[in-house]
Chains A and B, each alone.
Chain A
Amino acid sequence: MLLILRVLCSGPLHGYAIAQRIHTLSRAALEVEEGSLYPALQKLLLKGWVTASWTVSESGRRVRCYRLTRQGREQLDVEVRDFERVTGAIRQVLRTA
């Protein structure tokens, strides 16, 4: 969820592009099961963090593009902060223990 919100931060994308972006940005380290992207996207729609609209992609396909809303941006900030707090805490434990 955090990752989806983050990749949408730089601009609207369709589902396949989101999966590709996460894949390449993580230097292929994160293998998301691509199908599970869609239930997650529905959840984001329900929460009102993204909106969707049908457009035609560069390759001429009809695709649905997801765009981050203002609430989505706020949620991203919250989730990034949460993530950093948790990872910071884990790092702290790893360093001192």
Chain B
Amino acid sequence: MKALRAVAELGRRLLYWIDRDRRERELLEEMDAHRAQMADPERFGSTLRLGDAAREVWGWTWLEQLVQDLRVARRALARDPVFLATTTATLALAIGANTAIFSVVHAVLLEPLPFRDAGSLVAVWEHAPQLDQPKTPVAPASYAEWRVRGGVFAELGALDWRSFDLTGDGEPRRVQGLAVTPELFPMLGAEPALGRSFLPGEAEPGASRVALLADGLWRTRFGARRDVLGRSILLDGEGYIVVGVMPPRFQLFESYIGLWVPLALSPEEWRSAEPSLRVVARLRDGIVLEEARGRMGAIAAAVDRDDPGDATARDALLVPLDEELAGDAPRALLFLMAAVGTVLLAAGTNVGCLLLVRGLARRRELAIRAALGAGRGRVVRQLLAEGLLLCAPAAIAGVALARLGLPFVSRLLPPQLELSARVEIDAAVLAFTAVVSVLTALAVGLAPALRSTRGDPPNALSYHETPRQGRVQAALVAAEIALALLLAVQAALLVRSLGNLTGQYAGLRPERLLTARTALSPHRYWNAAARAAFYEVVLERVESLPGVRSAGYGTSVPLEWKGGGHAVVLEGRPPEPGRAFYACHRQVSAGYLETLGVPLIRGRQLERGDAEGAPLVAIVNETLARSFWPEREALGRRFALAEGEPWRTVVGVVADVRQMGAAEPVQPEMYLPYRQVAGHAFLRPRDLVVRAEVEPALLAAGLRGAVRDVDPAQPVALIRTMDEILGEASAAPRLQGAILTAFAGLATLLAALGTHGVIAHWVARSTREIGVRMALGARPAGILAAVLRRGARVTALGVAIGLLGCLAVAPMVRHLLFGVLATDPVTYAGVAAALAGVALASGLFPALRAARIAPVRALRHD
């Protein structure tokens, strides 16, 4: 009832608003008639004032005033188109940058993953305390155990990497796939776009082979034809029936997955303690993460108790799936968000400063308004309307800019969300932009508004600026300099860090190093002699290509694969509980390390004679030599790949290469001649490296031809230079560095404009004073120095505050830097000096103008 009445009342208000002109006229007519009938019309009062009071009843006054304010504001701004254009452009850039970065933050940090009830999904790892690895994949035995014991997970799914030679139609191609348990997709709520998901029985060993295609592979390889369903495709020479195609945005873990097959493990494979599975699980209803972690600990302890003989006791490690997939990205994204926020702050300060100068110039106008009866609130509102009028077009332009920048900022997405996260300007992003713009408008309008209305009108009418007002303006400029310094220092630190990162590989001379992947199918190349023949002949042919200096084969070129290690046994060192000698395992051909350019420190490199039947040898990196045999020379020491395997002798020590990433700690690594390793099929050589004497791109065709001559069915993938691989690895930090540098440049420009503005304003204001001084004999140089001193004071203040700010944010930035301190004094000093130079230089022009003031003209000024 009450609500109904409120609606009816609102309706009457609206009717009034629509018909307000007639209604107001009628009211006046009515009141005039009333007055006319009265004996004493004076008693009636002012019809104008009463009319206002009557109008206010209908509650539309605020809107009328706002419209009026905006109209006046538009007229005020239109008088100064240059001011309008520059401020709008500045604010549009800053708001656009904030919108663009926020759209990524929103996609990565705020949007839930596109899975059913994604909040209760966790990634499960294992943690083996005796291995020096924080998290390892899950052993099938543990997975089976969790399924039986239950209590924590409502659902569980596991997956394992597979790669296949896809043959049959067109060029042979190596495809990366995932083997998944049939429960995985239903748990995620992921439906194929075409066809069906896996059935529970399809993971049984011996079941018919089926596959689901990724959208990308379906389009590139099968022309997006729907009749691919039910067709048989050849993977590693075996027929698989295509049962479905996943939607384009479906992604779990890597983005380059081409297809999925059921994870078919035999009963004894399910008992394996080898860490091989990635596991995703859904927590049982009502169980929070902390509790789940506790219960998993208890399960691990129980498993340990039931089977005390198992030396590889492991703890389960639960990570919320969204956190797992976002990886390191949130830290960098929040940093960038803070950086663009700073840019907006600098832009807002700049515009506020300009408005303040205008506000001072408009004191007369405002004082007249006040004298005519405009309340202080009304004047403040007037200035806020101007702020709003500046920000609204800037916000619209900013959104347009952000749209243009979306493909660019999308590259900030973590790789594991590349396909699934939607970076777009949706309602939430627009709401963010609106809030940011309104806040900016308020802040920009408010400072000058409050300043302009202080003081009584008569005083303001006589144009006279108090020193205080100059000080506020100077403070704002100092703030701009401080913000610019803050950004510029962070940008410089990131750029230096980037240099350090890529500098890690300078020794490899990556620009002349071509790499390609020819992963041999274990089905076709089960025979060691066949593999050896393939490697030998391909290397021979490649080396005979014109422009090739040398070539080699290895498990994986640096940065391309970050796994592949295991514990080894050292001769004369009985195994100790709680310590495992973990080493990264790489099988290489003779010539691989030389081709890569890894310097030999001691001993010798591998030779072609290190083959079957010859004494077993190995090359190790410095980190391994140092950590396994800290007190003794590593050369001549012996170790075995596992308990009971033959000893092999260390014959050489090479320099560390950061295989796992420029910023990752170096692991102990061993390089074994591939002909001397029988097992470890997964670690067999697959990456070909070629040291070129010509432009490496010219060699690609020859390289393909060499492989085709040896084995026409063998796919050649990923032909790239080492330079490109490094570029990809450092793409994210490079992008961050580029964005930050651009923003630092913008902020510096704003600071320069601000300094110029404040000095120019001061010179204009003091023209008469300067004239008097010159008339009394002051030299132009003296005037110049006096003006510059003013600029220097503002600059020094800004630089000091900025440096303090840098120190304050240093703990947050530290994690993003490599090889350079967040408080690096050289960077601080260099950037501060450069920025101070820019600020002083921009104050120089008005200062020179001041020094050239002709006394006679100056005295007539004003």
What residues of chain A have their CB less than 8 Å away from a CB belonging to chain B?
A: 15-16, 19, 33-39, 41-43, 45-48, 54, 61-64
Q: State in angstroms the CA–CA spacing of A36 and B31 once bound together.
A: 10
Q: State in angstroms the CA–CA spacing of A42 and B28 once bound together.
A: 12
16 interchain pairs, CB-CB under 8 A: A15-B30, A15-B34, A16-B38, A33-B45, A34-B45, A35-B31, A35-B47, A36-B50, A36-B53, A38-B34, A39-B54, A39-B57, A42-B55, A42-B57, A46-B16, A48-B8
Q: State in angstroms the CA–CA spacing of A88 and B45 once bound together.
A: 35
In the assembled complex, B274 has its CB within 8 A of some CB on chain A? no
Q: State in angstroms the CA–CA spacing of A41 and B55 once bound together.
A: 11
Measured between beta carbons, the chain A residues less than 8 angstroms from B5 are 48
Measured between beta carbons, the chain A residues less than 8 angstroms from B37 are 16, 61
Q: State in angstroms the CA–CA spacing of A38 and B13 once bound together.
A: 17
Measured between beta carbons, the chain B residues less than 8 angstroms from A47 are 9
Interchain residue pairs A-B with the least CB separation, the first 6: A35-B45, A42-B57, A39-B54, A42-B54, A39-B53, A35-B50
Contact B8 A42 (CB under 8 A): no
Contact A46 B34 (CB under 8 A): no
Measured between beta carbons, the chain A residues less than 8 angstroms from B8 are 48
Measured between beta carbons, the chain A residues less than 8 angstroms from B53 are 36, 39
Q: Which residue of A lies closest to B13 (CB)?
A: A46
Contact B50 A38 (CB under 8 A): yes
Given contacts A36-B45, A63-B30, 14 further A-B contacts (CB under 8 A): A15-B33, A15-B34, A16-B37, A34-B44, A35-B45, A35-B47, A35-B50, A38-B51, A42-B54, A46-B12, A47-B9, A48-B8, A61-B33, A61-B37
Q: Contacts A34-B43, A46-B12 known; A16 to B58 CB distance under 8 Å? A: no
Q: State in angstroms the CA–CA spacing of A80 and B362 once bound together.
A: 56
Q: State in angstroms the CA–CA spacing of A54 and B8 once bound together.
A: 23
Most chain A beta-carbon contacts within 10 A, residue among B34, B50, B51, B55: B34
- Residue B58 contacts which of A46, A48, A62 (CB distance < 8 angstroms)? A46
- Residue A33 contacts which of B26, B31, B33, B43 (CB distance < 8 angstroms)? B43
Contact B57 A64 (CB under 8 A): no
Contact B33 A63 (CB under 8 A): yes
Contact B57 A46 (CB under 8 A): yes
Chain A proximity of B789: nearest CB distance (Å): 62
Q: State in angstroms the CA–CA spacing of A39 and B58 once bound together.
A: 10
Chain A proximity of B82: nearest CB distance (Å): 47
Q: Which residue of A lies closest to B45 (CB)?
A: A35
In the assembled complex, B27 has its CB within 8 A of some CB on chain A? yes
Measured between beta carbons, the chain A residues less than 8 angstroms from B12 are 45-46, 48
Chain B proximity of A19: nearest CB distance (Å): 7
Which secondary structure characterizes the binding site on chain A? Answer: helix
Q: Contacts A39-B54, A39-B57, A48-B8 known; A34 to B27 CB distance under 8 Å? A: no
Q: Interface 1/0s, chain B 1-43, versus A by CB < 8 A? A: 0000100110011001000000000110011011001100001
Q: Interface 1/0s, chain B 125-164, versus A by CB < 8 A? A: 0000000000000000000000000000000000000000
What residues of chain B have their CB less than 8 Å away from a CB belonging to chain A?
A: 5, 8-9, 12-13, 16, 26-27, 30-31, 33-34, 37-38, 43-47, 50-51, 53-58
Q: State in angstroms the CA–CA spacing of A47 and B11 once bound together.
A: 11
Q: Which residue of A lies closest to B53 (CB)?
A: A39
Chain B proximity of A56: nearest CB distance (Å): 12
Measured between beta carbons, the chain A residues less than 8 angstroms from B26 are 54, 64
Q: Contacts A33-B45, A45-B12, A46-B57 known; A38 to B33 CB distance under 8 Å? A: no
Measured between beta carbons, the chain A residues less than 8 angstroms from B30 are 15, 38, 63-64
Q: Which residue of B lies closest to A34 (CB)?
A: B44
Q: State in angstroms the CA–CA spacing of A61 and B38 once bound together.
A: 14
Q: State in angstroms the CA–CA spacing of A62 and B26 once bound together.
A: 11
Q: Contacts A34-B43, A46-B13 known; A19 to B34 CB distance under 8 Å? A: yes
Contact A35 B9 (CB under 8 A): no
Q: State in angstroms the CA–CA spacing of A33 and B51 once bound together.
A: 14
Q: Which residue of A lies closest to B55 (CB)?
A: A42
Contact B34 A43 (CB under 8 A): no
Contact A35 B44 (CB under 8 A): yes
Most chain B beta-carbon contacts within 10 A, residue among A38, A43, A45: A38
Q: Which residue of A lies closest to B43 (CB)?
A: A34
Q: Which residue of B lies closest to A15 (CB)?
A: B34
Contact B54 A34 (CB under 8 A): no
Contact A38 B38 (CB under 8 A): no
- Residue A46 contacts which of B9, B31, B51 (CB distance < 8 angstroms)? B9
Contact B9 A39 (CB under 8 A): no
Measured between beta carbons, the chain B residues less than 8 angstroms from A39 are 50, 53-54, 56-57
Q: State in angstroms the CA–CA spacing of A37 and B9 once bound together.
A: 21
Q: State in angstroms the CA–CA spacing of A33 and B822 once bound together.
A: 75
- Residue A34 contacts which of B16, B38, B56, B58 (CB distance < 8 angstroms)? B38
Chain A proximity of B267: nearest CB distance (Å): 81
Q: State in angstroms the CA–CA spacing of A48 and B12 once bound together.
A: 8
Chain B proximity of A51: nearest CB distance (Å): 11
Chain A proximity of B652: nearest CB distance (Å): 95
Chain A proximity of B20: nearest CB distance (Å): 12
Chain A proximity of B345: nearest CB distance (Å): 45
Q: State in angstroms the CA–CA spacing of A36 and B45 once bound together.
A: 9
Measured between beta carbons, the chain B residues less than 8 angstroms from A15 are 30-31, 33-34
Measured between beta carbons, the chain B residues less than 8 angstroms from A41 are 54
Q: State in angstroms the CA–CA spacing of A47 and B16 once bound together.
A: 12
Measured between beta carbons, the chain B residues less than 8 angstroms from A54 are 26
